[in-house]
Structure 1
Amino acid sequence: MASHRRPKPASRTRVTVLTATAAAAVAISSQAAQAAPAKQTLKSVKAQVTAIYDETEKVTEKLDGAKEKQEKLQKQVSEIQDEVAREQGELNGLQDQLGALASAQYRSGGIDESVQLLLSADPDDYLDKASTLDQLSSKQADALEQIAAKKRSLDQQKAEAATKLQELDDTRAELAKNKKEIQAKLAKATKLLNSLTAAQRASIAASNASAASRAASRVDLGDDTAATARAAEALAAGKTKIGSPYVYGASGPNSFDCSGFTSWAYAQAGVSIPRTSESQASAGTRIYSQSQLKPGDLVIFYSDYHHVGLYAGNGMVLHAPRTGESVKYESIGDMPFQFGVRI
């Protein structure tokens, strides 16, 4: 007769280990599920990248403004320093003349107190002593007056130079900050794009290229004419740059940001306009009605004026849109229109 034995019950230790292992497996699985990021859709990534590029353009205009300010300050500082050098030379010449006068008096019998005062370090202090001026000849008084005036002017120029140099340092710091912010935003956009598959990235590139091609070949600009000859020339120049890439801080001739494109176009017409979109917003006569816009007018977009293009006619603008895109035509209704500017 076969022996029937009941299975040996699992030990408490073994049950505990198995239970702990199962619990750990569940916990790890749960954590992995939480840690694994949800795969973003192509549409979601494109929307995020577009938003980042829009933010980048705002900072780019600040960068352009800081660059323009830096160039002006550098020129002003150079001019002031040249003036300081010139006035220092004139002051040295006046003091030499005064020294010659003192030497002549010494040779003729010694330097009196009035001439000694002429040679003092602070001629203004001497001039305040009106009673002593009576002891001076008119020639001596004139020499002292000139020295005092020149010294005041020189001190003022030096103070102005110091102020401008500090402002220049602050502007350079602002430039560095703007560049760093732009680079961080572009790096973020690149990281998002790199999270896509090669096929998805190719799809975005093909879509952008196709849109640009359609815009260039099928756009109907109507038959309206520019309000001025310079506006017509600026628009004509801008059309030759269709397809040129957007690059932050660039102002041509091979790449552009938005205000770099418009300032370059007008420069080809012999007209100098400010470098940034915010400044260009005040560069001419504002046109608030879209129906009154003429080809070549500047068109300002967004409430903070951070984007600008050229009105091309029939509700279309020619502009440098954003990073990743090129100079192209686009409907004026695609962006929040503020007003036009007639140069």
Structure 2
Amino acid sequence: MRGRVPVATGLAAAVLLLPMTSAQADPKPTIAEAQAKLKKLNSQADKIVDDYNAANEKYKKAKKKYDSVNDDYQKQYHQVDALRQSVVSIAVNTYQTGDVALMGGVFYGSDPESALSGMAALDQLSQGRAQQLAEYEAAIKGLKDKRDAQKSAFDDAAKTKSDLSKKKADAEKLVKEQKSLLVKLGAYNAGNPNSAGITYTGSASGNALTALQFAYKQVGKPYRYGGTGPGSWDCSGLTQAAWAAAGVSLPRTTYEQWSWGANRRVSLSKLQPGDLLFHPGIGHVGIYAGDGKVVHAPQTGDVVKVVSLSGYGSIAGAVRP
């Protein structure tokens, strides 16, 4: 029996010889921990998505303004160019008849300032040409104003696009974390962008019926932040499109829809089909379908669905479009 190593001593030695990396590795999160983290991410999602939607709306408006100003600038530029050709003809005629030598900046300058700098030559021209040249001068000044407005609109659009890019990055990071956890939990639902939805058979009437029929046809389509259809939706994108089908124009974001309905609030005890139901914090919105049901686009990894009022969660208030 001499030389036998005691069992406890042998096990201790074996443990010491094991690689340290596996012992030091961070343990994988449990299902409960993953669920808790997902719940926290979902609570953050509403604000991040609404921030993204607000930035996107601001960018679209800024770009639309820039496009409009730029279009006006281009039209004015062509008008000025036509007047320039007319003024050049006057210059050529003046030169041929030996009147005066006009300042070249009036006719050949590459920008409004250089053209304006040569306008002193107007005083040297005969009265008969003054009106045509005055029109040219006014057009040049108008072009300069439009160019300045164009730059301002462009700068604003560029800034809002930068803000939008940051908001999008925040949303994408959140979505990646949500998707990873949902896959781990076996709860990720990719949905079907071509889902035919289901038929609404509730008690709604009038334009509320039209809105709910539209919303029910979206059931089964995936949730996607910033989604405004037709293949995916976020919560306010769905409510906006559903009521647009019924002839009612809602703002884009959840917060805007809540503010829009400031004078249209209704008691939760008097809900009617078609009413908009907002979660606390006004970060999520769905449509009351009647009979204790709500249709909404929940969150990443889920699809447009019909749930019970209790399954929908807490309600901060309701708006009747």
Question: Normalising by structure 2, what TM-score?
Answer: 0.74
What does 1:142-153 correspond to in 2, within 5 Å? 142-153=131-142
- CA deviation vs aligned residue, 1:99-123 (integer Å, no higher than 9, x gap): 2223333333x2237x659947656
Displacement, 1:94? 1.7
- Give 1 or 2 for the bigger CA radius of gyration: 1
Match of 1:85 among 74, 84, 88: 74
After superposition, residues 88-237 of structure 1 pair within 5 angstroms as 88-108=77-97, 110-112=98-100, 119=106, 137-193=126-182, 195=184, 201=186, 204=187, 223=203, 225=204, 229-237=206-214
Moved more, 252-261 or 50-59: 50-59
Residue-by-residue CA offset, 1:265-320 (whole Å, 9 max, x unaligned) = 123224443322223223444305323443213233332x3212112235543211
CA RMSD in angstroms, aligned pairs only: 4.2
C-alpha separation in 2, matches of 1:249 and 1:274: 14
Describe the shift of the 1:278–1:145 C-alpha distance in structure 2 as closer, same or farther (beyond 3 A).
farther
Separation (CA, whole Å) in 1 of partners of 2:312 and 2:220: 19
**SS across alignment from 1:175:** helix
**Gap regions ≥5 residues in structure 1:** 1-6, 8-18, 210-215
Q: Matched residues in 2 for 1:271 and 1:88: separation?
A: 40
Paired AA for residue 37 in structure 1: P
Listed as ranges, the matches of 1:241-252 within 5 Å are: 241-252=218-229
**Compared with structure 1, are the counterparts of its residues 29 and 92 closer, same or farther at alpha carbon in structure 2 (3 Å cutoff)?**
closer
For residue 76 of structure 2, give the secondary structure of its aligned residue in structure 1: helix
Q: Which residue does the alignment assign to 1:64?
A: 53
Query: 1:266, 1:273 within 8 Å by CA — same for their partners in 2?
Result: yes
Q: Matched residues in 2 for 1:165 and 1:134: separation?
A: 37
- Percent identity for Structure 1 against Structure 2: 30
In 1: Cα distance, 2:126 partner to 2:314 partner: 75
- Give the TM-score normalised by the residue count of structure 1: 0.70
- Which string of whole-angstrom CA distances, capped at 9 and with x for unpartnered residues, describes residues 13-47 of structure 1? xxxxxx9x969957989996664527524x44223
Task: State how far apart, in whole Å, the 2-side matches of 1:117 and 1:31 are.
Answer: 80
1:259 aligns with 2:236: yes
- The whole-number CA distance in structure 2 between the counterparts of 1:243 and 1:292 is 29
Q: 1:51 to 1:36 in 2, by over 3 A?
A: closer
